[in-house]
Amino acid sequence: NAGVTQTPKFQVLKTGQSMTLQCAQDMNHEYMSWYRQDPGMGLRLIHYSVGAGITDQGEVPNGYNVSRSTTEDFPLRLLSAAPSQTSVYFCASTPALGRNTEAFFGQGTRLTVV
């Protein structure tokens, strides 16, 4: 049981390049989320999904796209990277049943845009 797996762990992009951050979970959780973590800003929600085929925007969605074609995967796409997107990105999954107060986080992807 690997939990939440994020790839890559590190990435350097040039301004204007595109890339996809991968996130996979093997806990059969319905809910998945993407956060970014910046110094002095804490974790901010980018996009989230409550099930396959259903996504919605969080606090800071601009410049990012997501899709959820399967329960297990929730990729985050940067269409045209900007230096302001330099951050650490965390994917999280949450079970739908029960009190569902616990989000399980991946190890993060450290992205630098130059």
Peptide bond into 8 cis (omega under 30): yes
Nearer to other proteins by Cβ, of 14 and 98: the residue is 98
Q: Indicate which single residue of 11, 58, 61, 72 sits in contact with other proteins (rule: CB under 8 A).
A: 58
Q: Indicate which single residue of 21, 23, 32, 76 sits in contact with other proteins (rule: CB under 8 A).
A: 32
Contacts of 67 by beta carbon, 8 Å cutoff, 6+ apart: 55, 75
Query: Segment 60-89, which members bind other proteins (CB under 8 A)?
Result: none
> Residue 49 CB, nearest distance to other proteins (Å)?
8
Note whether 36 binds other proteins by CB under 8 A.
no
Note whether 12 binds other proteins by CB under 8 A.
no
* Structure-token pair, residue 35: 């956060």
> Residue 89 CB, nearest distance to other proteins (Å)?
11
**Amino acid (one-letter) located at 98:** G
C-alpha torsion sign, points 45, 46, 51, 55: positive
Which parts of this chain interact with other proteins (CB under 8 A)?
4, 31-33, 35, 40-45, 48-50, 58, 90, 92, 94, 96, 99-103, 105-108
